[in-house]
Structure 1
Amino acid sequence: MNTVADRLIVPLDVPSLPAAIAWVERLPQVSFWKVGLELFVSTGPAILTELKQRQKHIFLDLKFHDIPNTVAGACRAVATYGVDLVTLHAAAGPAALKAAQTAISEAATATGQAPPQLLAITVLTSLTARSLALDLKIPIELPEYALHLARLAQQQGIAGAVCSPQEVAQLREICGPHFRLVCPGVRPDWAAKGDQKRTLTPAMAVKAGADYLVIGRPITQASDPAAAFQRICDELATVV
């Protein structure tokens, strides 16, 4: 992370390749882009090729969650794309986490590429403590559950975790300084929260221990996206 801007990951939450390229060209100052399920299912690896040709960093957020053999196969395929970060659900369990890490490392080595860093999804930022307890019937407190999942992933060699900014301080303290922590659901004071339930401002999230922030709608839905991106960078510069 060479600059404040390198810590901001902007989601390409659009349904087509032309729409995604339009955003990349509209915001050339963004160095790190997130490709999620909608765009990847629509375009396949073509969007990854376009981003790499423009020397952008890529967060491939596909949230793998399956049996160990299937997750391992997906990770072997992902390793050939040359992306930087890839997600899978910690709730897939220790066997799947270990199989994923082994597969992605071996496949990258076989193709002469640096392996992507795997990030374990802890608890989605759209969930609340109430929904975790009542809807999903998970009988422990949300912060404790997020920490448990992060530690489970770390024990299997996973490089980091995705967590709410409200859990990041605890994960940083327990998991140590080298465990990558990526926070979605970050919202500046001047932006609407939308469907994010457990959020902090960018500066607060970084001060709490986040390595990267995923910030979408406050930038992409702003009347001037470039100005919104710069405003967030300026806010972060006061704490980084």
Structure 2
Amino acid sequence: MNSDEARKKIIFALDVNGVAEIDRYAALLSGKVGMFKVGKELFTACGREAVQTVLRHGGEVFLDLKYHDIPNTVAKAMVEASRMGVRLANLHALGGAEMMETAANAVRSEFGDDRPRLLAVTILTSSTAETLRRVGIEHPVDQMVVRLARLAQESGMDGVVASPLEIGLIREACGPDFLIVTPGVRPSFAAVDDQKRIMAPAEAVTAGADYLVIGRPIAKASDPAAAADLIVEEIAGGCP
């Protein structure tokens, strides 16, 4: 894998405070990473301007708002996300088949091929078997992830967000063309922090991840651009 291919795998998590910080990181990293993730905290604080700021710098956006509501509400929200010109947008697979199907059909009907790719969140990387048991889910984490991935694919989703530890199982269940976006990735130089189910970048890509969501290892580095370059080198050097 060459450096440009490796760079496109990286989604930088914009877990920052305000438009000035978005502007700084977008300017600094637009040529260093493949995409920028705008999540709930940032979007709640800055709204559409968060997305627009990244786009002004020529970056692409993964809008990570994890919608989970009644089908009609989620469908309308996903259509509005699509209007902003984002590359990826997501919802929670636990919202069920009807919710996912309604959203997928609405986006495709409105935008056709000129639309974001739609992802379903399976099980959060901070979750464990005990976390699931306490909300009444008795199946093991890996079984739930595969079950939700299959449901998402059947419901018209383009891919899923899942822990790197389940990449192989999802590939086996859903095939080579189903997108897998993987948080819980930590390069060799970074701390684990609060993620429970993690993997190194090259290992995750080799296992079949299409995109890696990486935030703190880049943002907390004294030189974020250099940290991004190190991760690119780690992926390119560790992947055939």
Corresponding position: 1:31 with 2:34? yes
The answer to whether the 8 Å contact 2:19/2:53 transfers is: no
Which residue does the alignment assign to 1:108?
Answer: 111
Which residue does the alignment assign to 2:93?
Answer: 90
Inter-partner Cα distance in structure 2 for 1:57 and 1:202: 20
Report deviation, 1:141. 0.8
- Calculate the TM-score normalised by the size of structure 2: 0.94
Inter-partner Cα distance in structure 2 for 1:75 and 1:226: 32
Amino acid at match of 1:115: R
Inter-partner Cα distance in structure 2 for 1:156 and 1:52: 30
Aligned length: 236
Inter-partner Cα distance in structure 2 for 1:172 and 1:219: 28
Instruction: Name which of 26, 49, 62 aligns with 2:52.
Output: 49
Which residue does the alignment assign to 1:166?
Answer: 165
Report deviation, 1:67. 0.7
Inter-partner Cα distance in structure 2 for 1:96 and 1:233: 36
The answer to whether the 8 Å contact 2:26/2:59 transfers is: no
Which residue does the alignment assign to 1:66?
Answer: 69
Deviation string 1:18-75 (CA, Å, 9 cap, x unpaired) is 1111111222423310001111111111122222222211100000000101111111
Deviation string 1:211-240 (CA, Å, 9 cap, x unpaired) is 000011111111221221111111110204
The answer to whether the 8 Å contact 1:80/1:107 transfers is: no
The answer to whether the 8 Å contact 1:78/1:104 transfers is: no
Amino acid at match of 1:127: S
Amino acid at match of 2:104: Q
SS in 2 for 1:166: helix
Report deviation, 1:200. 0.5
Amino acid at match of 1:57: E
Inter-partner Cα distance in structure 1 for 2:81 and 2:161: 18
Amino acid at match of 1:54: H
Which residue does the alignment assign to 2:192?
Answer: 193
Deviates more, 1:99-108 or 1:157-166: 99-108
Inter-partner Cα distance in structure 2 for 1:105 and 1:8: 26
Report deviation, 1:155. 0.2
SS in 2 for 1:153: helix
Structure 1 residue ranges, 4+ long, deviating more than 4 angstroms after superposition: none
The answer to whether the 8 Å contact 2:93/2:100 transfers is: yes
- Calculate the TM-score normalised by the size of structure 1: 0.94
Amino acid at match of 2:121: I
Inter-partner Cα distance in structure 2 for 1:79 and 1:216: 24
Which residue does the alignment assign to 2:20?
Answer: 18
Which residue does the alignment assign to 1:177?
Answer: 176
SS in 2 for 1:41: helix
Q: For structure 1, list consecutive stretches of 5 or more residues without a partner in the other structure.
A: none
Amino acid at match of 1:12: L
Inter-partner Cα distance in structure 2 for 1:178 and 1:67: 28
The answer to whether the 8 Å contact 1:91/1:149 transfers is: yes
Over aligned residue pairs, what C-alpha RMSD do you find?
A: 1.5
Q: For structure 2, list consecutive stretches of 5 or more residues without a partner in the other structure.
A: none
Higher relative contact order (CA 8 A, sep 6+): 2
Which residue does the alignment assign to 2:211?
Answer: 212
Amino acid at match of 1:63: K
Inter-partner Cα distance in structure 2 for 1:56 and 1:24: 7
Report deviation, 1:3. 2.0
Report deviation, 1:101. 0.2
The answer to whether the 8 Å contact 1:150/1:171 transfers is: yes
Which residue does the alignment assign to 2:79?
Answer: 76
The answer to whether the 8 Å contact 2:165/2:198 transfers is: yes
Inter-partner Cα distance in structure 1 for 2:163 and 2:33: 22
Inter-partner Cα distance in structure 2 for 1:72 and 1:80: 13
